[in-house]
Amino acid sequence: MKIDKTTLSIDGIDKIILKELISNARTPINKIALKASISGAAVHQRIKKLEASGVISGSHIKLNTKVLGYKTMAFIGVFLDKAMNNLTAVNKLNKIPEVLECHYTTGNWSVFVKILCKDNEHLMNLLNNSIQKIPGISRTETFISLDQQIFRQIAI
């Protein structure tokens, strides 16, 4: 691993480690060590350096939301009446548990939001009684995801 003033470049061993951890964050260090042809201690040190440099920021469990009863994924383009209302609106959106992501965007919308609901009725209730009542939001456009066909991390 090499750090210059603005970027971090990773070597082949770091790439092996990252690919293994991306595919399964619980991959045993010894398995990664065998694949990278280095010791377990060296893998452990490299993972710590990747964490310290900010390349790795934790590990995550992926929930099967459909098994938990959440079957409707939607994306909402949010129009704000004034750009200065962005921070207030985002703070209110952050308090809604179904909001998974919120992006400040260019283009037609001020904010683009990803939400997860149990069903279409839950979505409609959330739109009508929570999101569209946030001060500063003038209107929304909703897109329901029929199926997520690609999910991946950036290629290493």
Can you give the pLDDT of all 156 residues of the chain as single tens digits?
666 656 678 899 999 999 999 989 999 999 999 999 999 999 999 999 999 999 999 888 889 999 999 999 999 999 999 988 899 999 999 999 999 999 999 999 999 999 999 999 999 999 999 999 999 999 999 999 999 999 888 888
CATH number corresponding to 72-145: 3.30.70.920
Give the residue extent of every domain in the chain. 2-53, 72-145
Residue (of 152, 6, 38) closest to 17 by Cα position? 38
* Residue 81 three-state SS: coil
CATH class of 2-53: mainly alpha
